[in-house]
């Protein structure tokens, strides 16, 4: 270097540093702005990250050697440790103390012997106190301690230090650090810039170093991010961190500083002391302290009183953790190949920096640091590992909604409909093939995007509650996936989403267990079992929410009546999927099974219905599925035996998984049923065929019924489209039937026969009456088979309150039984309308006297009387009054239908009054008025005619309309009244979140979500109207 350029050396170097750091800052910010950081980091294998951490540990240990001995830990300097020195402080002494100090501190912290912050502070303060006490007692001065290298010192350039004629004076090379002003560096850099002190011709020669250094620093920053994320157990926004680091580096470059990004070793030490990664207080305190030290220039004086062994020991403490946790503990979290790659990275880095790097030309050394060499080596080795493990192409993760994912569990139509409504509450995240570092990151990013889209487009009540990870087709998982799945676990926990794992590979199951990924989650051996679990959880959740409606006694009484009506339902409509097991009692018998007991042998062609418990079916193709209460099994054997299905049957066995009760229908009894009760046999066959389709995994669940469907096409599926049914706009006869009840309508002969058969089944041989406790037990069991959750004690109270035991003798006679069922299904009509009904019926028969009064003609008759034949309740009526299956409805059966329609109307009005009661009380509560709880009373007959807006079906649970309201009723405001989440929150005293979920389950309208004032808030203006309220009580409670 020319002597004239000496004065430009430092300013030019500082300016080159500032330019290089500015380039680095722009690269940092660009990577974050383009959102490429996560993509780059996602493709860094876990073995490379772990190897990088060992290199960090090695560098920190090297720093400890340099601090304690004054020599770099390289091959050509290591021999200095063996030189005999004149003073007592041999370099081995502070190094040995530092090693003991750092390893002991890490061991105590790792074992959690003491609180980390107390332990570290004690290991700093106590050694300092003892050291200075010993020195004071020995009479050793600070100058002598510096001469013997117990402290870090500055050589020659400190205050009072200098050289005269080539000799060191005034303290020699062991001068204490002095206070410096923070603007000194800026004076040199900017002073040279504005005074011509920068040799600009030399700067272009640094461009390759700028580019290489920026790339290496960016790579180092990204590796530090992923290693910090792993070490701290937090989720970092890589793009935000890189942009923040870029901004900080640009500011630092203006101050002639270094690139600004987090250091894993210091993050770990900080977490050990602060013991939290959520609070910004430790960071703010540390930043404020650093700023104070920087502005005051007191860093040097503070270092003057920190012995070498203490500073080196803290470095050993920071470094030994990286080495131990990755070179030893890493074997528990990685496969053998990945663990071997970690060791290869560590050893190559050691050999490169200890032996090779120092022997390269000085202008080449900055271009090939050990971290860059081992990073490239690690990527190459991990690529080969992946090539051998990834035997077939990985498929993109797939998210499927709950509407297209069903378990094979056979459930009732009611539960299938409920699960269809709740389908937005769960999704299946399907992952296939081998999961390696790239696909694992894509999986996580796709999940984050899915949840972010939900938050931006759906109210909280309609978002995911359960997320199933289907890993059943995953052949293997790379070690890097561990961190990704931990991030998945944390992400879902933060969002309040329940996590369910489905996996069948034993190695993956064991690996997830070892990693602790089952904590706070559930794991099952198949997707089918996982879906069944989630469906059970959702049904329980819906049941718990719907129970909250029962604060009104009228609603509760109607609900209880609905349960009883379902038990004794004798409808034979083939389009109904539900089937009352009580109808099968005369043709079957019950057996009890112990857990593990088997059924359905090779020659077994009986039909079974599960009464209580659980049975698992074994299929011929190796599949297994569970049958729930109220469902049939071994049905394919029966269908094959009667020629309804081709051979061979798929069922090869069944086993009770818990103690169970089963209803058995032998094949010969089924044939008797076909002869004596063909309509019942036909309905049973239709039910079996529907359930046959329902027992396969992955089937698509029927779409939830919308308001249009419930009021239109679906409910009128029993109508003959070729017939033009008359419309009676006045509906005068139908309205007049609501006024009066002095004519007692009887049950049909088919109803009486069926009910008497059930009575005889409940009776013990030789008895004429049934004890009330036995009757309650029968009703309870039958209701549970249909999906009811009412306990036996509640049924006892319901039966007692019904007044069925008219004479109060504690037993039930057949007449009392029939009288009870008549009141359950029928309402009486006014005597004065009997002649009109008779003449109307006779006129309808006279139009085609040679033809039977079949279903289509009866529907025309009901339409002429003013009834809404599009109502699903009309289908229920037809299914009951023609239960004998002869295809001819006589006048007595026709009157039974009239009584049923009136009963539906009365119940509908009672629910209307309850609805008004809910609305009124919520309005009062929300306005702050004191409210006295009042039950909704049964309305008077005069109000029934004006208020019958909807019929209540006791059988199907489908929505229907009945008689239109008068205009006067609309003027009074009974129409248009709706309940929202605020109403439910007020009068039911439920949390807002539950109230919104209850409204979501009931509202059948398509409502568009809207963005709130807060960008993270999305709301939907959902409400419950009268018809939806009635549908809710029937279908959900």
Using one digit for the tens of pLDDT, what is the confidence trace for 299-321? 888 988 999 999 999 999 989 98
Using one digit for the tens of pLDDT, what is the confidence trace for 584-623? 878 888 899 999 998 887 778 888 888 888 888 888 777 7
**pLDDT above 50: residue 938:** no
Length of the chain: 1037
Who has greater pLDDT, 347 or 926? 347
Q: What mean pLDDT comes out for the span 133-139?
A: 91
Output the pLDDT for position 889.
87
Q: Is the dihedral of CA 1027, 1029, 1033, 1037 positive or negative?
A: positive
**815 Cβ neighbours under 8 A, 6+ residues apart:** none
Output the pLDDT for position 469.
93
Output the pLDDT for position 465.
94
Q: How many angstroms separate the Cα of 250 from the Cα of each of 32, 211, 215, 243, 1034? A: 14, 16, 16, 11, 67
Who has greater pLDDT, 789 or 162? 789
Following DSSP, what letter does each residue of 368-387 receive, concatenated? S-HHHHHHHHHHHHHHHHHH
Output the pLDDT for position 88.
52
Residue pair 89/150 in contact (Cβ under 8 Å)? The answer is: yes
Who has greater pLDDT, 961 or 88? 88
Who has greater pLDDT, 525 or 216? 525
Who has greater pLDDT, 874 or 672? 672
Tokens of 315: 């470095």
**pLDDT above 50: residue 448:** yes
Output the pLDDT for position 974.
44
**pLDDT above 60: residue 819:** yes
Quick count: other Cβ atoms within 10 Å of Cβ 596?
10
Output the pLDDT for position 323.
93
**pLDDT above 60: residue 170:** no
Percentage, residues of the chain above pLDDT 90: 13
**pLDDT above 90: residue 796:** no
Quick count: other Cβ atoms within 10 Å of Cβ 615?
26
- What band does 624 get if pLDDT is binned at 50, 70 and 90? confident
Q: What mean pLDDT comes out for the span 65-76?
A: 83
Residue pair 635/664 in contact (Cβ under 8 Å)? The answer is: no
Q: What mean pLDDT comes out for the span 88-112?
A: 86
Q: What mean pLDDT comes out for the span 833-841?
A: 91
- What band does 471 get if pLDDT is binned at 50, 70 and 90? very high
- What band does 249 get if pLDDT is binned at 50, 70 and 90? very high
- What band does 645 get if pLDDT is binned at 50, 70 and 90? confident
Residue 9 has φ and ψ, to the nearest 5°, of: -65, -55
Tokens of 1000: 């979501």
Output the pLDDT for position 64.
92
- What band does 928 get if pLDDT is binned at 50, 70 and 90? low
Using one digit for the tens of pLDDT, what is the confidence trace for 719-749? 455 555 555 544 577 788 888 888 999 888 8
Output the pLDDT for position 377.
87
Q: What mean pLDDT comes out for the span 924-936?
A: 53
Dist CA 11 CA 325 (whole Å):
44
Output the pLDDT for position 122.
87
Output the pLDDT for position 425.
93
Using one digit for the tens of pLDDT, what is the confidence trace for 671-697? 888 888 777 787 788 777 777 766 555
Output the pLDDT for position 945.
35
Output the pLDDT for position 573.
53
Output the pLDDT for position 723.
52
Using one digit for the tens of pLDDT, what is the confidence trace for 143-162? 888 888 889 887 633 444 55
Output the pLDDT for position 83.
66
Task: Give the least confident one: 116-125, 640-649, 954-963.
Answer: 954-963
Task: Give the least confident one: 135-139, 214-218, 511-515.
Answer: 214-218
User: Mean pLDDT over all residues of the chain?
Assistant: 79
Output the pLDDT for position 129.
92
Dist CA 776 CA 802 (whole Å):
12
Q: What mean pLDDT comes out for the span 239-246?
A: 90
Output the pLDDT for position 968.
39
Dist CA 492 CA 85 (whole Å):
62
Q: What mean pLDDT comes out for the span 265-285?
A: 78
**pLDDT above 70: residue 393:** no
Output the pLDDT for position 734.
77
**pLDDT above 60: residue 947:** no
Output the pLDDT for position 183.
87
Output the pLDDT for position 369.
80
Dist CA 859 CA 879 (whole Å):
12
Buried b (16+ CB within 10 A) or exposed e, 246-267: bebbbebbeebbebbbbbbbeb
Who has greater pLDDT, 18 or 548? 18
Residue 281, class by beta-carbon neighbours within 10 Å (0-12 exposed, 13-18 middle, 19+ buried)? exposed
- CA–chain centroid gap for 918, Å, is 33
Output the pLDDT for position 86.
60
- What band does 345 get if pLDDT is binned at 50, 70 and 90? very high
Who has greater pLDDT, 693 or 821? 821
Residue 325, class by beta-carbon neighbours within 10 Å (0-12 exposed, 13-18 middle, 19+ buried)? buried
Output the pLDDT for position 943.
35
Sheet holding 615-619, edge to edge: 598-599, 651-656, 615-619, 624-627
Q: What mean pLDDT comes out for the span 116-128?
A: 83
- What band does 387 get if pLDDT is binned at 50, 70 and 90? low
Using one digit for the tens of pLDDT, what is the confidence trace for 655-671? 998 898 888 998 888 88
Using one digit for the tens of pLDDT, what is the confidence trace for 980-1036? 888 888 888 889 899 999 999 888 888 888 876 666 678 888 888 888 888 787 666
Find the DSSP H helices in 395-457.
Answer: 413-421, 437-457
Who has greater pLDDT, 390 or 788? 788
- What band does 332 get if pLDDT is binned at 50, 70 and 90? confident
Q: What mean pLDDT comes out for the span 552-567?
A: 79
Fill in the DSSP letter of residue 151. Answer: B
Helix, strand, coil share (%) of the chain residues, nearest 5: 60, 10, 35
Output the pLDDT for position 346.
93
My answer on whether omega of the bond before 299 falls inside 30° of 0, hence cis, is no
- What band does 351 get if pLDDT is binned at 50, 70 and 90? very high
- What band does 900 get if pLDDT is binned at 50, 70 and 90? confident
């Amino acid at each position: 270097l020319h002597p004239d350029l000496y004065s430009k050396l430092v300013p030019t170097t500082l300016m080159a540093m500032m330019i290089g750091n500015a380039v680095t800052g722009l690269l940092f910010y660009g990577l974050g702005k383009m959102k490429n950081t996560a993509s780059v980091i996602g493709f860094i294998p876990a073995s490379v990250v772990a190897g990088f951490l060992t290199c960090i540990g090695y560098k920190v240990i090297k720093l400890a050697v340099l601090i304690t001995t004054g020599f770099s830990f390289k091959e050509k300097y290591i021999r200095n440790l063996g030189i005999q020195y004149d003073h007592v402080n041999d370099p081995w002494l502070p190094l040995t103390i530092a090693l003991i100090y750092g390893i002991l501190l890490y061991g105590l912290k790792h074992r959690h012997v003491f609180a980390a912050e107390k332990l570290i502070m004690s290991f700093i303060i106590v050694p300092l106190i003892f050291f200075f006490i010993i020195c004071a007692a020995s009479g050793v001065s600070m100058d002598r301690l510096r001469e013997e290298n117990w402290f870090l010192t500055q050589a020659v350039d400190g205050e009072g230090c200098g050289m005269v004629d080539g000799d060191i004076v005034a303290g020699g090379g062991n001068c204490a650090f002095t206070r410096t002003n923070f603007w000194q560096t800026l004076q040199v850099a900017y002073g040279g810039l504005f005074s011509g002190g920068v040799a600009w011709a030399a700067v272009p020669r640094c461009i390759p170093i700028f580019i290489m250094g920026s790339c290496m620093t960016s790579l180092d920053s990204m590796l530090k991010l992923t290693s910090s994320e792993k070490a701290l157990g937090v989720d970092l926004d890589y793009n935000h961190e890189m942009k923040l680091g870029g901004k900080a580096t640009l500011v630092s470059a203006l101050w002639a500083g270094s690139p600004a990004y987090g250091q894993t070793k210091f993050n770990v030490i900080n977490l050990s002391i602060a013991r939290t990664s959520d609070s910004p207080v430790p960071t703010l305190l540390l930043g404020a302290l650093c700023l104070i030290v920087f502005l005051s220039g007191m860093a040097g004086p503070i270092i003057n009183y920190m012995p070498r062994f203490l500073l080196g020991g803290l470095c050993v403490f920071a470094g030994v953790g990286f080495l131990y946790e990755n070179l030893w503990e890493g074997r528990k979290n990685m496969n053998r190949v990945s663990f071997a790659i970690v060791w290869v990275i560590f050893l190559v880095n050691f050999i490169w920096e200890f032996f090779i790097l120092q022997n390269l030309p000085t202008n080449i050394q900055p271009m090939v640091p050990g971290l860059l060499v081992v990073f490239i080596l690690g990527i190459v080795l991990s690529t080969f590992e992946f090539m051998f493990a990834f035997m077939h192409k990985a498929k993109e993760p797939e998210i499927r909604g709950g509407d297209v994912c069903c378990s094979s569990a056979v459930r009732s139509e009611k539960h299938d409909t409920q699960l269809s409504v709740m389908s937005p509450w769960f999704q299946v995240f399907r992952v296939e093939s081998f999961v390696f570092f790239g696909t694992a990151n894509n999986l996580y990013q796709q999940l984050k995007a899915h949840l972010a889209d939900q938050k931006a487009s759906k109210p909280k009540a309609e978002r995911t509650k359960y997320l199933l990870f289907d890993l059943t087709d995953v052949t293997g998982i790379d070690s890097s996936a561990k961190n990704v799945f931990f991030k998945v676990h944390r992400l879902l926990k933060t969002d309040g989403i329940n996590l369910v794992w489905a996996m069948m590979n034993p190695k993956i199951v064991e690996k997830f267990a070892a990693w602790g990924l089952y904590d706070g989650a559930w794991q099952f051996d198949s997707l089918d079992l996982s879906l069944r679990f989630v469906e059970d959880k959702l049904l329980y959740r819906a049941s718990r929410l719907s129970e909250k409606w029962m604060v009104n006694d009228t609603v509760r009484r109607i609900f209880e009546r609905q349960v009883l009506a379902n038990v004794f339902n004798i409808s034979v409509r083939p389009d109904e999927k539900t089937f009352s097991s009580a109808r099968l009692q005369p043709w079957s018998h019950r057996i009890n099974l112990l857990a593990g007991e088997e059924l359905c042998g090779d020659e077994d062609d009986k039909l079974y219905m599960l009464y209580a418990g659980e049975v698992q079916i074994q299929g011929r193709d190796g599949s297994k599925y569970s049958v729930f209460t109220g469902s049939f099994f071994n049905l394919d054997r029966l269908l094959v035996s009667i020629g309804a299905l081709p051979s061979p049957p798929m069922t090869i066995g069944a086993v009770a998984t818990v103690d169970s009760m089963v209803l058995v229908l032998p094949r010969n009894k089924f044939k008797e049923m076909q002869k004596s009760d063909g309509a019942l046999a036909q309905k049973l066959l239709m039910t079996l065929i529907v359930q046959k389709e329902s027992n396969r995994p992955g089937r698509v669940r029927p779409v939830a019924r919308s308001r249009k469907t419930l009021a239109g096409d679906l409910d009128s599926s029993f109508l003959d489209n070729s017939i033009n049914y008359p419309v009676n706009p006045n509906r005068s006869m139908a309205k007049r039937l609501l006024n009066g009840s002095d004519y007692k309508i009887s049950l049909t002969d088919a109803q009486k026969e069926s009910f008497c058969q059930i009575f005889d089944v409940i009776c013990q041989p030789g008895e004429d009456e049934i004890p009330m406790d036995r009757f309650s037990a029968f009703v309870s069991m039958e209701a549970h088979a249909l999906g009811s959750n009412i306990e036996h004690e509640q049924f006892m109270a319901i039966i007692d309150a019904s007044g069925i035991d008219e004479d109060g003798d504690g037993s039930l006679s057949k007449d009392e039984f029939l009288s009870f069922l008549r009141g359950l299904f029928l309402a009486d009509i006014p005597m004065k309308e009997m002649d009109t009904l008779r003449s109307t019926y006779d006129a309808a028969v006279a139009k085609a006297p040679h033809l039977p009064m079949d279903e289509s003609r009866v529907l025309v008759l009901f339409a002429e009387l003013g009834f809404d034949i599009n109502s699903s309740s009309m289908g229920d009526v037809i299914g009951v009054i023609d239960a004998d299956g002869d295809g001819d409805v006589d006048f007595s059966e026709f009157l039974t239908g009239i009584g049923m329609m009136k009963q539906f109307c009365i119940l509908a009005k009672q629910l209307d009054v309850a609805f008004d009661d809910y609305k009124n009380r919520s309005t009062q509560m929300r306005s702050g008025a004191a409210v006295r709880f009042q039950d909704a009373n049964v309305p008077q007959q005069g109000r029934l005619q004006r208020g019958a807006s909807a019929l209540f079906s006791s059988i199907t649970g489908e929505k229907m309309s009945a008689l239109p309201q008068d205009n006067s009723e609309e003027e009074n405001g009974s129409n248009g009244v709706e309940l929202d989440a605020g109403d439910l929150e007020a009068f039911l005293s439920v949390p807002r979140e539950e109230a919104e979920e209850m409204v979501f389950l009931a509202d059948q309208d398509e409502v568009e979500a809207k963005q709130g004032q807060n960008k993270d808030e999305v709301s939907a203006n959902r409400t419950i109207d009268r018809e939806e309220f009635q549908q809710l009580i029937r279908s959900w409670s």
